[in-house]
Amino acid sequence: MKDRIRLSDGGGGLDSRELVDQIASVLSNPVLSGLEDSAILDGVEGRVAFTTDGFVVKPTFFPGGDIGKLAVCGTLNDLVVMGARPKALSLSLIIEEGFAKKDLMRIVTSIKETAGDTPVVTGDTKVVEHGSADGIFVITAGVGVQLKGANPSASRLTEGDKLIVTGSVGRHGASIMANREELGFSSDLLSDVAYQGDMILPLFESLGADVKVCRDVTRGGMSAILSEFAHSSDVGIEVMEADIPVDPDVKGLCDALGLDPLTLACEGRSLIGVCPGRLDEALEILTGNPLGSGTCQIGEVVADHARMVHLRTIIGGARILEPPAGELLPRIC
């Protein structure tokens, strides 16, 4: 195996075939093995969910994960928060000339391990000139089948609905920030990147359409998601600052840099709205999974101040919670 990716590895010839074969050998499954132009899947019944995303995180490897794990979790989580059980993934790689092949195979192995029972059934590989891609970019797409009765939407919230977060917030963004060489920090602060299906899908199986909305908290953090909920449903939202879980190490980093953890990305947390009569059941289901052990109610939907999110502060005041302006930190996911 050559130690470095070369332009010829993306040229469509023998070198390309060798690289694709090496990647496919790690991701091996019956559908992918034919390496056809399209994956042919057995027919499915029900409503199909389909999502796609690109991942450009820097650094490529970070405490708690890497770009491969991040890509798989991000794509699968986008399916499960819609109440869909993942069925298959696609994988496209844009690799910079000179990228270490051992790092590439480490990423592909991470993709395989993180995807678990969800196979990568089709993909593509491109190699670009040195300096054009800053290492590697990963593009994934996912398809799943929505569970019967599931119907989450940011436009379905009504007065009285309860808002839940499945754990502490801001950890992924804080981890990436703490491990950027140019910022001069040295930290082992772990990202929260994780697959949420084993926690979220049982919630939909039990509550069905009483899960009004469910969203993976990523770029823009909790403040961006809450603002989207308020605008899409034309409702007011009130959240209690004292009830929002933020880990001490994340809070410490944010205090040092003058940042708000509510604007930082997570990659293993969801923000969920449920009918008021199902709150206790929802909390029991979510806290019953290790990933959701920190689940708690943080607020509710109110009749006042439509399309606005009010944060009730720890000291007894209130402020409008708005999504962050601009990009706090580029290349986080």
pLDDT of res. 7: 80
Judge whether residue 95 has pLDDT over 80.
Answer: yes
Q: What's the rounded mean pLDDT across residues 284-295? A: 98
Quick check: 193 and 216 in contact, CB under 8 A? no
Interval 218-240: pLDDT, tens: 988 999 899 999 999 999 999 99
Amino acid at 65: G
E strands, the chain, in order: 48-55, 61-62, 65-66, 84-96, 120-128, 136-146, 162-165, 211-216, 236-240, 270-274, 296-302, 309-312, 318-320
Instruction: Choose from 114-128, 167-181, 252-266 the range with maximum mean pLDDT.
Output: 114-128
Query: Which pLDDT belongs to residue 36?
Result: 67
Q: Where are the domains of the chain?
A: 7-146, 162-320
CB 207 within 8 A of CB 221: no
pLDDT of residue 12: 67
CA 65, 63, 333, 214 torsion-angle sign:
positive
3-state helix, strand, coil in the chain (%, to 5): 35, 25, 40
177 token code pair: 């920030």
pLDDT at 38: 61
Strands 84-96 and 136-146: antiparallel
Q: What distance in Å separates the CA atoms of residue 282 and residue 211, rounded to the nearest whole number?
A: 9
Residue 31: per-residue pLDDT: 84
SS3 assignment, position 315: coil
Tokens of 78: 């986008």
- pLDDT in the model for residue 184: 63
Helices 14-26 and 101-115: crossing angle, nearest 10°?
A: 40
Which has the minimum average pLDDT: 15-24, 113-122, 323-332?
A: 323-332
Tens digit of pLDDT for each residue in 244-255?
999 999 999 999
| Residue-averaged pLDDT of the chain | 92
Q: Environment class of residue 14 by beta-carbon count within 10 Å: exposed (0-12), middle (13-18) or buried (19+)?
A: exposed
Decide if 7-146 and 162-320 have a common fold: no
Structure confidence by residue, pLDDT tens digits, 80-89? 999 999 999 9
What confidence category does residue 44 fall into, taking pLDDT thresholds of 50, 70 and 90? confident
Confidence of residue 45 (pLDDT cuts 50, 70, 90): confident
User: Model confidence at 183, in pLDDT bands (50, 70, 90)?
Assistant: low
d(CA 272, CA 213): 6
Largest CA distance in the chain: 67
State how far Cα 51 lies from the chain centre: 12
Assessment of whether the complete model's pTM goes beyond 0.85: yes
The residue that leads in pLDDT, 195 or 179, is: 195
Per-residue tokens: 249: 């190490």
In this prediction, what percent of the chain has a pLDDT beyond 70?
A: 95
| Residue % of the chain over a pLDDT of 90 | 77
Span of 111-125, 207-221, 287-301, 317-331 with lowest mean pLDDT: 317-331
Instruction: Work out whether strand 296-302 and strand 211-216 pair parallel, antiparallel, or are unpaired.
Output: unpaired
Mean pLDDT over 77-103 rounds to 96
pLDDT score, position 179 = 85
Q: What is the mean pLDDT of residues 275-280?
A: 98
Query: What is the pLDDT, as a whole number, of residue 164?
Result: 98
Greater model confidence, 184 or 219: 219
Say if CB 333 and CB 172 are below 8 A apart.
yes
pLDDT computed for residue 333 by the predictor: 86
Helix (H, G, I), strand (E, B) or coil at 266: coil
Question: What is the pLDDT at residue 328?
Answer: 66
Tell me which CATH homologous superfamily contains domain 7-146.
PurM-like, N-terminal domain (3.30.1330.10)
Residue 192 tokens, joined? 């929260």
The domain defined by 162-320 folds into Phosphoribosyl-aminoimidazole Synthetase; Chain A, domain 2 (3.90.650)
Confidence tier at 298 by pLDDT (50, 70, 90): very high
> Would you state the structure tokens that stand for residue 205, as one six-digit string?
């199986």
